[in-house]
Structure 1
Amino acid sequence: MNRRAFIASTLAVSVYRPLVAADAATAAEQAHSEIWRRFIDKYGIMIDFADMDGKVSLPTPEECREGKPNALGWWAPIENGAMFNGFYMDAAVLRWKRTKSADDAAKARKLMEGLLILNSISDVKGFVGRGVSTDGKSHYPMGSNDQTLPWFLGLWRYWESGIATDEEKQRITKHLVETTEEIMRLGWKMPAEAPFGTRGSFEGFHFEETSRKLFVMKMLYAVTGDAKWQTMYLAELDARGGEKNESKRELCIGGMKFFYARTHNWTSCGGVSALRGLWELETDAALKADYAKGLVASAKLAAESLPLAQQWDNADTSYFEMNWRVMNAEWKPQTTEKESQELAQQQLKNFRKLAPRRGKETAFIREPSAAAWNVMLCPDADVLKQFAPEIKKLIAHFDYTKLYYSQFFWVEAAWERLLLLKAQ
């Protein structure tokens, strides 16, 4: 190593060391502060990315209508509002239960109102949007199953938290029921605007679809008291299909599975959090025990992704391109989901070359952060204690003030659940 390289590496280590030494509690509080300083828009919806001052140029109403950069909204700053709000509600509610502060209750309420906005912006019944433009209403025409399950989950978490007023519970219940009934009418597919029709489904014999559909049924029984949802739920448990002709109960026991990439904890949070909801709601001891088995299996698989966090270097200066509109150079009109996905994938391929920082944050921050939450959703204290040290190390590792993406937010809920474990 030459002198210049030695000096550079020494400086990098000196910059990096203090955050590693920070305790997880301090780091978790920093994560919370950064989320609310930079990533929650004025409508109470989490955006995907912003600069260090919280600034980002949102898609205009015209760009949303034209489907720029693509009609899915992929890679735009309002790509994942329903998903992120819904998942983040777990952290918000747990934090309020710990602090009982009016400020924390107000934050949870703001997230809830953001979720309701996303279900109120379209003339298409049951539509759950990804985010909103500068006018608070314009949006991309397609949501997804990955957006809609967290939407259900977040509203339920708020509904049962102790924060919700009676009026809020009534409003939330109305949205939950009307949206579910429309999804059911469409064969458990998610409504989308013309010309796309639908996008994504809760129907199928994979863990992801299975736990999501069962959760919606069980949750609606708890929220409404209407026995029809319980009847549907019990019948659904025995349904069989898929390559191994497994029942949906058996699929839940098997837990999370990766299938479209080597790991994808960040999207699999939907299935795991739905299974956690089922475990909390279930009163039948044998069925509850089966859900616990699935959560243990999911936690052990998720834990394999925790070491990814240590590949993140807080001193990294890779370029991040804030101007997502560079992708519009490849834009063309789209009339089908397939056309939109093909366009989006081509845009990402080229954008990654221009903005290498993006791939690093998604690989080494988003994925292990989501994995930490997936682990902490497990109800088995012995399993949690096994992985708690590594999760604390992960939380303490990141300098959240230097991250462009909001996709570290899972660490907050992981931390709150670590505190619950400590209190046991």
Structure 2
Amino acid sequence: MKLPLLTLATLMLLPRALLCAAEPTPAQAVEQAHAELWGRFVDKYGIIRDYVGELPTPEDCKLGRPNAIGWWSPIENGPMFNGLYLPAMCERARRSGTAADAEQARRLAQGLMKCASVSDVPGFIARGIGTDGVCHYPLSSDDQTHPWFLGLQAYLKSGIPTAEERGQIIAKVKEVAAALEAVQWRIPCEGDFRGDFRGGFTGHLFRDAVRYLHLLRATHEITGDAVWLERYHKACAERPDPKGKTRVEICAMGYPFDREAIAHIDESQLWIYVGSQAALAQLIRMETDESRRAHYREGLAVNAANARPALKGHATFDNADTKFFGNANWRALYPTWFPQPTQADAAKLAKISDKTKRGERKDYESRYMKNPLAGAAIVALQGEAADSAAIEQVIRHYDYAKLKMAELFFAECAYYALPAM
């Protein structure tokens, strides 16, 4: 039917928003993200999987398939994701006051506890759990370990855990922290790599300094043991590079201090700095020395200022995009295998794939979903109400039901870090 000219002219004058389906409110978008995360990505142990795909078997974990690091598997980043997300889940439970939200926070904490309880190597935090409920890859990392502390610290402060749970968690934190202290806060490996280490916290970068200081101060808050506060005070004044800045001074520099060492932070690596920003926020809360607090606040502001431009990346993401997500079938994507007697061999194997079966979806989501949402979380953690509109715009943009990767949880991290309205 041909519309009258007046009607067409009127339609052309209507705001675009009225001609399109109404965008969700920030609260509605977060509810969708929450439902998708818990419906698809959180396993029965309370551990977040990277994506929906076949779980590695005990044989896979023992032999190192697709590689001994566990990269590209569905159980690559469990404690990292749990630990970064648990503070948001605790805040959600505080705001809602519902038993269901409190129980989900408890499940995440139980997942973190399980990751720290499946190995006989002291201080080892498994990346995730395979088909038998125990098997795991032998190489963890500092990226998995710091969020483990961060998440459990938030859970213990939430008022959710029972007295029995508190006792169990505090005992486990004492155990893990003591084991890491004994090896100079390097990350131990297990299995065929037992005796090796993979990453640590005492280096010269910003992310080293802020996470190390947070680990020491958080362990003191959790355990009440004075020795951890003494170690924290000592570490604050130390210079990782004898000719460089103290750790507290490095914290004030923010993540731009790391750009020379870690490529493309702003374009694709903001997700590994969400924990560092959360660590700064916690250090500000725990610290009593105003000079140190000023350095931490400066770093918090520097990170937020540098992450703000990344929020614009959300506008490039098309919810109707149909790029292929071949990563879900990791066996087909990574068919090559060879023994990996060294970590270098494992990293070499991880680079070999059948690129014809990969598709472009993972890279697309990483650049235009994960990075903008991680940036939003970094900005939100500064706690400035003036950033709320820009952050909420990012959160509202995505149809979370169509996303393939679990990093959609950063939407909740950002939302619940904003000042409550």
TM-score, length basis structure 2? 0.90
- Alignment pair present for 1:195 and 2:192: yes
| Post-superposition offset of 1:419 | 4.6
| Post-superposition offset of 1:353 | 6.4
Amino acid at match of 1:357: R
- Alignment pair present for 1:72 and 2:69: yes
- Aligned residue-pair number: 396
| Post-superposition offset of 1:244 | 5.8
- Alignment pair present for 1:132 and 2:129: yes
Aligned partner of 1:82 in structure 2 is 79
| Post-superposition offset of 1:240 | 1.3
Amino acid at match of 1:280: R
Aligned partner of 1:406 in structure 2 is 406
- Alignment pair present for 1:164 and 2:156: no
Change in 2 beyond 3 A, CA 1:351/1:275: farther
SS at match of 2:393: helix
- Alignment pair present for 1:355 and 2:359: yes
CA contact (8 A) 2:33 2:409 kept: yes
SS at match of 2:339: coil
| Post-superposition offset of 1:354 | 2.5
Aligned partner of 1:373 in structure 2 is 377
Aligned partner of 1:37 in structure 2 is 39
Change in 2 beyond 3 A, CA 1:351/1:85: farther
CA contact (8 A) 2:332 2:357 kept: no
Which of 281, 286, 294 is equivalent to 2:286?
281
| Post-superposition offset of 1:194 | 3.3
| Post-superposition offset of 1:22 | 2.0
Distance 1:79 1:335 in 2: 20
My pick for the range that moved more, 195-204 or 238-247, is 238-247
Distance 2:142 2:283 in 1: 18
Distance 1:142 1:18 in 2: 47
My pick for the range that moved more, 26-35 or 262-271, is 262-271
Aligned partner of 1:216 in structure 2 is 215
| Post-superposition offset of 1:207 | 0.8
Distance 2:66 2:279 in 1: 31
Distance 1:242 1:270 in 2: 23
SS at match of 1:412: helix
Aligned partner of 1:391 in structure 2 is 391
Distance 2:242 2:366 in 1: 32
| Post-superposition offset of 1:351 | 4.0
- Alignment pair present for 1:417 and 2:417: yes
Which of 327, 330, 333 is equivalent to 2:336?
330
SS at match of 2:418: helix
- Alignment pair present for 1:237 and 2:241: no
SS at match of 2:191: coil
CA contact (8 A) 2:76 2:127 kept: yes
Unmatched runs of 5 consecutive residues or more in structure 2: 1-15
CA contact (8 A) 1:369 1:410 kept: yes
Distance 2:232 2:332 in 1: 47
Unmatched runs of 5 consecutive residues or more in structure 1: 1-12, 51-55
Give CA deviations for 1:343-398 in whole Å, capped at 9, x if unaligned: 21233xx448632111101111111111111111114x3xx41x322211110100
Distance 1:161 1:256 in 2: 29
Distance 1:306 1:242 in 2: 33
Q: Percent identity?
A: 39
Change in 2 beyond 3 A, CA 1:77/1:392: same
Aligned partner of 1:291 in structure 2 is 296
SS at match of 1:59: coil
Aligned partner of 2:263 in structure 1 is 261
- Alignment pair present for 1:59 and 2:59: no
Change in 2 beyond 3 A, CA 1:115/1:352: farther
Distance 1:351 1:124 in 2: 36
CA contact (8 A) 2:381 2:418 kept: no
- Alignment pair present for 1:315 and 2:315: no
Give CA deviations for 1:160-190 in whole Å, capped at 9, x if unaligned: 1111122111111111111111112112101
Amino acid at match of 2:287: E
Amino acid at match of 2:33: A
SS at match of 1:31: helix
Give CA deviations for 1:275-302 in whole Å, capped at 9, x if unaligned: 2221121122332222111101111111
- The structure number with the bigger radius of gyration is 2
Distance 1:167 1:287 in 2: 35
Aligned partner of 1:6 in structure 2 is none
| Post-superposition offset of 1:118 | 0.2
Change in 2 beyond 3 A, CA 1:254/1:329: same
Distance 1:122 1:207 in 2: 30
Distance 1:364 1:243 in 2: 39
Distance 1:244 1:30 in 2: 50
Amino acid at match of 1:223: I
| Post-superposition offset of 1:261 | 2.3
Distance 2:134 2:21 in 1: 43
Amino acid at match of 1:400: Y
Aligned partner of 1:175 in structure 2 is 172
| Post-superposition offset of 1:326 | 1.4
Distance 1:17 1:310 in 2: 16
Amino acid at match of 2:69: L
CA contact (8 A) 1:69 1:327 kept: no
Aligned partner of 1:18 in structure 2 is 21
My pick for the range that moved more, 104-113 or 236-245, is 236-245
Distance 1:254 1:419 in 2: 25
TM-score, length basis structure 1? 0.90
Amino acid at match of 1:340: A
My pick for the range that moved more, 255-264 or 389-398, is 255-264
